[in-house]
């Protein structure tokens, strides 16, 4: 059976995603603050609550090769987040190691993206948050929120948006 290059790359990307997701372990990220983040505080790297995802060199090389021919945004999150106080939520939300660019994440209370609840700093591919603290608390109960993943190309003189997509999550405030 002959498989075309395009289908092989897509199959490889799928298998690598599956391998990365099943083989990930939480590690503390050793994020270094870049010079760009010191001069542009709106686009600085997150260090608190960020974990690094483990990835071997062979897998990384295959992923990078696949990304050259099929760039895009891979989402990395679990749909449900939980809080007891309505402000700090335990969750899983990150920048997949399949992505080629750093990313920041916005969380909004409304589908018009006008009521911002959270704005992250930049996180590198292969990093994720295990908790976030919102700008304001949510009431007890279940809340549908709108998450915007924005990839940023930091290689030029000025940061450029390299891609953006959105998804929904369910935030649950459950008292003690």
Q: Which domain CATH number covers 151?
A: 2.60.40.2550
* Angstrom distance (rounded) from CA 47 to CA 77: 18
Average of per-residue pLDDT across 12-20: 52
What pLDDT digit, counting tens, does each position of 131-151 carry?
999 999 999 999 999 999 999
Residue 84 is assigned to a structural domain of this protein: yes
Residue 121 is assigned to a structural domain of this protein: yes
Residue 155 is assigned to a structural domain of this protein: yes
In order, the DSSP letters of 105-153 are: EEEESSTTS-SEEEE--BB-TTEEEEEEE-SSPPPSEEEEEEEEEEEEE
Closest CA to 93 of 40, 133, 143, 137: 133
Residue 32 is assigned to a structural domain of this protein: yes
pTM: 0.62
Give counts: helices (H), strands (E), the chain.
3, 10
β-pairing, 127-133 with 102-108?
unpaired
- If pLDDT is split at 50, 70 and 90, which confidence band does 51 have? low
The whole-number pLDDT of residue 175 equals 83
Residue 166 is assigned to a structural domain of this protein: yes
Residue 115 is assigned to a structural domain of this protein: yes
Total number of domains constituting the chain: 1
């Amino acid at each position: 059976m002959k498989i075309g290059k395009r289908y092989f790359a897509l199959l490889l990307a799928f298998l690598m995603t599956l391998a990365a997701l099943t083989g990930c372990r939480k590690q503390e990220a050793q994020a270094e603050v870049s010079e760009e983040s010191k001069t542009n505080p709106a686009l600085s790297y997150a260090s608190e609550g960020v974990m690094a995802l483990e990835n071997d060199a062979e897998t990384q090389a295959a992923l990078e090769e696949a990304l050259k021919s099929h760039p895009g945004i891979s989402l990395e999150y679990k749909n449900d987040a939980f809080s007891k106080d309505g402000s700090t939520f335990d969750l899983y939300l990150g920048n997949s190691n399949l992505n080629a660019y750093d990313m920041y994440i916005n969380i909004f209370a409304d589908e018009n993206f006008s009521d911002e609840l959270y704005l992250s700093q930049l996180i590198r591919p292969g990093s994720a948050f295990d908790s976030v603290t919102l700008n304001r608390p949510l009431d007890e109960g279940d809340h549908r929120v709108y998450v915007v993943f924005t990839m940023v190309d930091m290689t030029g003189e000025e940061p450029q948006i390299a891609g953006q997509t959105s998804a929904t999550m369910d935030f649950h405030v459950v008292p003690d």
